[in-house]
Structure 1
Amino acid sequence: MSGNTIGKLFRVTTFGESHGKALGAVIDGCPPGLSLTEEYIQKELEKRRPGKVSGQSPRKEKDKVEILSGVFEGYTIGTPIALLIYNVDVDSSAYEKIKNVFRPGHADFTYFIKYGGYRDYRGGGRSSGRETVARVAAGAVAKRVLEEYGIEVIAYTISLGGIEVKEKNLEVIYKNHLFCPDMSAYEKMCEKIEETKKEGDSLGGVVEVLAKGVPAGLGEPVFDKLSADLAKAICSIGAVKGIEMGAGFKVAYMKGSENNDPITPYGFLKNDAGGILGGISSGQDIIIRVAVKPIPSIKKIQKTINEKKEEVEISIGGRHDISAIPRIVPVIEAMVRIVLADHLLRQLANLAFQKRLKFPDFFKD
């Protein structure tokens, strides 16, 4: 079956299930000569690792990454990079009694229909948020590609459980576990998480992404627009239910004179377009906001059915987060990086051809 690979030149394929032996990714198309170590990738994985604070799954996964191929003596060599992360703290006992029940808000029912009844019910199998660990690992490789051209991707929480930030101080997002740019809002969000945890419920929120240093010209006309590929990549994350760029849904209430970004010889005067025009980057910051749904695994009683179409009630046990935020934040960063790396390489190929670069002749040069 298809659907496990993203990208054209910088291609990422992920594999593995929540309670399987391991998860991982294969990255094809990464240029040679980039310094890359397991320690570098590990720093990104630490941002989404579970069990670090209250409100997160107590599952104790080390998320230790192994580079199996594509790197030699600390540098990429142009061949496929295979990354592997073993599951070391699997406990499937909570799923045995509900293995034939469709959990509300989960992909149990749709996977059951899609694959003719064959599915890994343990922790949701491949539909689990656990799958995203492979995305973050691959995103770290994409980050190395982007660093060579001064492109930086930062994601942070701007809303959680209805509590919204009043300011965006990006200097503090790595000083709190929610990646929140407003410390006052952060404290209120933490209180909300504890309240919701006692209720046996969960929370949704909004994550904003800022991509800085993106050159003008990334993106392909029509079907491979940069905006389209970014939307697809971000919406491929299980907990994502909405996305907007620049002014987003506010444009529906604007006039053209209000929405258009005036251009001067020195650049744009504002950025309601969110850094993308006609599906191609404009050289401005790319700004995206992502709506994240509440975690569907909750202790509150819910109505559903089982595989025999019998009505049942369910209270979901096991080890779950109260919110996909903050662990989804590095996942969103990773998906944006993967798309930008892919389109960067595509544009570099385009520019190289325009300049009619000659192939080197080792014996004549």
Structure 2
Amino acid sequence: MSTNQASRLESPPPVVSIVIPAFNRVEPLRLTLTSAVAAIRQLGEPAEILLIDDGSEPPLATTLAGTIDAKHVRILRQPNRGSIVARQTGLKAALGTYVLFLDSDDLIAPEKLRAHVAQLRATGADISYDDVGAATTASDQPVKVLRELPVVSTVEELVLRVQPLPHGPVYRREYLQRALQQPVIPPLRECDAAGDVWLYYNLSIHPAKLVKIAGPFSLIGVHEEGRYSQHWEKLGFAALGIMEAFMRNCPINAATEAARTLVGECAFNSWRRLPRGFVPAYNRRLLAIWRAAPHPERMQLGGPLFRLLAAVFGRVGAGRLLRLRNASYASIRTLDDAVLKRLS
């Protein structure tokens, strides 16, 4: 047994487990780890970082040697299976009362853990979430608030309508383990580009007590290495597959009606935002999801102009008219025809 392993056995259990799946991208990861360690130090209580090495070559234990805080970081290595499975690996190994998921290029404010833990304890909530701030990795400029999230009372509103940054929520570990024990959407590799969407959709049918924390503690950083969001088509096709799997697998009953309604709303609004000339089959699949969902009057499908047009032309007709204002796909595409065909 190593000295670090022995000290962990003698230490009190962590209050928070930070789970970070990672594959090869080392430079942004260093900043993420620095950010997480700073938040742990401000928390002032035991915490752990579970770094899930998803088959990196060379291994992260080698590339990060001498640069990580061994007191806080445990590296768990697995064959490359994608970020969704890596998160699940981390969740199974987590010992903390609360869990925060970070991607390997995410940043959090130093005050984040302290603020979230205090409110989770005070309220007994299952999920806490906060606002979004901007930070750069090249300077110590103050955090700029980018988005103030609304206060909502149900988990489906939070994860399907508000959709906080993936590293925004902090979860009670028992809630996550219960909700993901038999996920309605299995951890499919083709969903990996939208791993946060996979998590949110699976949580949407599991009621939770929420608490909103005011403050931009979830940060958007700037770095030069690629993100999935730089190829929005990949993210879009992965999210589409998740929506379709949810509608296929979700039990149809009163308990899931609100979540199914909001999935339909997400599909319709995603269809409305698509660029002109984008893959026709993608358009049809989004509308099929919307048509399969419940259609209460309270669906948020557009503003006053949309509602006026919908009264005359119907919701789809109104959407088609307003989509004429969208940019053309040719002006914003990031993938060539061969890659797009494989995704389709």
Q: What TM-score, normalized to structure 1? A: 0.24
Structure with greater helix percent: 2
Structure with greater strand percent: 1
Q: What TM-score, normalized to structure 2? A: 0.25
Structure with higher RCO (Cα < 8 A, 6+ apart): 1
